[in-house]
A and B are shown apart, each in its own frame.
Chain A
Amino acid sequence: MEWLSEFGAIAAMQGFNGLSVFCVLLLMALGLAIIFGQMGVINMAHGEFLTIGAYTTFVVSSLTSSYAPAFGPYYFFLAIILSFFIAGAIGWLVEWAMISKLYQRPLDTLLATWGLSLVMQQGFRSIFGAREVSATLPDWLMGSWNPTEAIDIPRNGLFVMGLTLLLTALLFLMIYRSRWGLQVRATMQNRVMARSVGINTKRVDRMTFALGCGVAGVAGAAFTTIGSTGPTAGSLYIVDTFLVVVFGGASSLLGTIASAFSIAQAQSLLEFFTSGSMAKVFTLSAVVLILMLRPQGLFSAKVRK
């Protein structure tokens, strides 16, 4: 009997782990999904925008502990908001200086943003040093929540989950309910037509890109609770992120969500029953195999081209 309840507890925690990996993947991918899915732009520097968020959090954390220790428990919210705006602003600049000149050449965007990621990595190294840094987390983010004796639900996992849900909901509202979202979708469907009905497509592009980068910044801030902050931390995420978006079919947010979910569950289960390395190989292979059988991704409408 005791064995059974323990088994239940582990199953519950493992289930939570699957959800938590799902949220991490989704959070990483959201910004990219907006940029890639809505604009067709491949941003290889996406990981570095995550890192901007992480370093922002680190700076806010250090400043808080030196100048306003009383504010310690709450600095994280400020860090998230700042991360959004800083990453967004840099994204805005990048769109203005680079991306806007490459819209006709998606593969070249991919290469140019790769160059950008090198520059950004070295930038982080010059500013913050080669070593990894660690933001001090407020106590309420540490430790776990125990619904029963045997179950530990990590609080940072809950936090990431909540943040993911909130962000996803906001993005859904923005893209599918707001006037701005309508303009974005109109621009993506038919640029010329959108322009002729008075939409400033350049501005829409710029804002979309900035939004995607801002979301990446928020993700980066959130990841300081579960991962490392260093100049090359972003490159750890980039391939997984792309796979999630591509696997999801690139054009719909729903697809991205579904694909993050399936990859996360597969990974989490395989990790539990095999081992870390093998799980990674199996998951990636499965994704590639499925992409070969269904190159358009999991979710994409059949349309007359």
Chain B
Amino acid sequence: MTMHAMSAIEPTSPPPGVLAIRADNWRLAIVAGLALSIFAALTLPASVSFWVVGVAAAMIAAAFVVNAYRRRYYGGLLVAPAIAVLFVMNIFPLLWSLGLSFFAYQSNQQSIRFVGLNNYIKVLTNEIAAPGNWSALVNTALFVVLTVSAQMMVGFLLAMLFAKQFPLRKYLLILVLTPMMLSVVASGVFFTYYYDPTFGILSYVMNAITGGQFILMDSKAGAVAGIVFADAWMWSPFVMLLVLAGLVSVPKYLYEAAAIDRVSAWRRFWSITFPYIRGLLMLALLFRTIEAFKLADLVILLTKGGNDTMTISYHLIRIANEQNKTSEGAAISYVMLFMVIVLTNLYLYLANRRNQES
């Protein structure tokens, strides 16, 4: 790990070597702290290892602050509180489970032993365990593609509707924003009602039209459509809000200039409007993709994974929580993390390339 703080003001003294034992040598503190933490988390009982990790974190933090203060590395000082909270609440638990993924451990049993990469090999290739993982991954990919593109499209179209100023805009906008404020439990449970073949509105309407018995959720296509519709309905407003913010930030005189220059609507969109919303679209895409990978609650509520709608995140809940196969779950989650990282990096790479081209 290399990290070198820069500042507008030159450092007042040279930074210490990595191995120098000084109060401001945060590099050594991080290395030592991490090593100590991982060691403690894996070997000592939880109640002891927590304190070891706490001490390590405090040591790193102290070294960090002393160093930053001495050299006026304001960047480090500013970032430190957030990193500290993230480290304790998020990064440490993540490292803990990363560590566990190399052990055979079930949380409801008291034994633990090191197995190296066996968990990963198991979740990816084992005759019994792997097919479930792979099909859940394929389904997840399907959901990510469908729900994210649906959200991006619907969100974009809604934003276009609201781009202009018109009477009552404010009141209509809040109506469209409301779905994302609902709790997933409530909206998911109500979608089971909307889709219910006996009581639901959808079947009532469809039956009245076709005269038959309409059952949305009895096929994979229907079940996927039902889940994607509910998810996209809830989260398109998120995309819309970001896109709308981009749209309203386009200066009006650019559109006037385009009118004077007799620019076609198509060209106007791509050369003027799109550059203003591209960054926001990317942010929306990034966060919605990450969330779509975690899609589980709606699946649990609407299909319980039936009709081949099992997602990796729900699968993970079953493995890690219901069946207590903690380390196997950790391995699956890190495989999943790897995929999300690859995908998001691909987005960012493409976005940056586009930036540099234009």
Q: Do A and B come from one complex?
A: no
A-binding residues in B (CB < 8 A)? none
